[in-house]
Structure 1
């Protein structure tokens, strides 16, 4: 792992150690978030799959009734019967927070006073299959909204999960190793400088001792010479 291009000073070493501690703590928190997001995503994906299968079965039944109705009455009658809907809905979009991700929640209210009053035509020219198709389609409308919300929630959680996974990998395989290598380099460099300083201090100390011994020898020689001169 390539180290960071920084000056090997004690101040930089202290700063990098703080960054390493922060990165390590953030890595743990992001790993916990990633694991929780994965759990939420898998549970939601299973629920989403179950709901989709149920909706597809019900929609297949609705389409079957529409085909039967279309076989009994003409296309013109079908279009005329469904041209002016009697019932309407007002869609409301809310949101909820899952692991710092805002996901949508859908709800609706019917515009007509009677929610069951959904057939916009008389019974003389249409068939019972058309009534069944519209009634069943009205029944699965809440499921369709729920499925749409879960589909969007799944997509948002998947995107957040991928983003969190990239951050965890960046910290685990790039940032933390680079900080560790740089801290090791600075520590070794400071230790090397410290050993160099100690060596220089020892040399200076030896030189001072040698100088002191030399002065002492000179002083002793001067004393001996004075003593011999006095004896003469």
Structure 2
């Protein structure tokens, strides 16, 4: 007996067969989507791990250089050197579609292309370690932005994988089995009705045949009676 209430009619059977075909096609497409998303997700996670390791190592370099520069320069001189930034940054965001998931794409552009324009101070009164720290920070900032982009992509793909997994399980363990049960139930009922109809027709045929035989016997008896009287 199916878990859903159905009318055992041929029209309902046709509708359910169409629903089953659609559910099976959807199940296959969603499984393919889930598998491809999982592949993309794992590649993204590996990229996140590699980028994070690079960023952490370069941030340690920046921290070490700033620490040495702080030791070699007074706090007032260090603050004055970094007070007025020379380079401006423009950040734009677009999206790209990965298996129906819109992931962010960040574009980082500086006001000028020259790497020398990142130093907002003169070199005479500052430490060389400060130059190293500023240069390393400018480079690691791009990687940090890329890391944020990739991590957000991984998060969005993980959410989509979970949604797709739930849909696949709903189709595989609920919709398709219930529809198959309903089809079997209707088919069984229609077969029972066909057998019952066949049985009734056979009984009617037997009754009509028996009636015909009785009528023929009666006519034969009447003819024989008239023959005797003659």
- TM class by shorter chain equals over 0.9
Greater shift, 73-82 or 48-57, is seen at 73-82
Distance in 2 separating the partners of 1:208 and 1:77: 119
- Contact in 1 for aligned 2:48/2:150 (Cα 8 Å): yes
1:1-232 equivalences under 5 Å are 2-112=2-112, 114-230=114-230
Question: What's the TM-score once normalised by structure 2's chain length?
Answer: 0.93
- Contact in 1 for aligned 2:2/2:185 (Cα 8 Å): no
Q: Tell me: CA distance 1:215–1:156, structure 2 relative to 1, closer, same or farther (3 Å).
A: same
Report the number of matched residues.
Answer: 230
Gapped runs of 5+ residues in structure 2? none
Question: What's the TM-score once normalised by structure 1's chain length?
Answer: 0.92
Distance in 1 separating the partners of 2:192 and 2:86: 87
- Give me the CA root mean square deviation: 1.7
How far did residue 123 of structure 1 move? 3.9
Any idea what the Cα deviations from partners look like across 1:2-35, whole Å, max 9, x if unmatched?
4321101111111111111111111111111111
Distance in 1 separating the partners of 2:113 and 2:206: 105
Gapped runs of 5+ residues in structure 1? none
How far did residue 149 of structure 1 move? 1.0
SS of structure 1 residue aligned to 2:221 = helix
Any idea what the Cα deviations from partners look like across 1:18-58, whole Å, max 9, x if unmatched?
11111111111111111111111111111111111011110
Q: Tell me: CA distance 1:113–1:3, structure 2 relative to 1, closer, same or farther (3 Å).
A: closer
How far did residue 79 of structure 1 move? 3.0
Any idea what the Cα deviations from partners look like across 1:108-162, whole Å, max 9, x if unmatched?
2212463421122234553222221111000122211211111111111111111
Distance in 1 separating the partners of 2:116 and 2:145: 18
Q: Tell me: CA distance 1:131–1:115, structure 2 relative to 1, closer, same or farther (3 Å).
A: closer
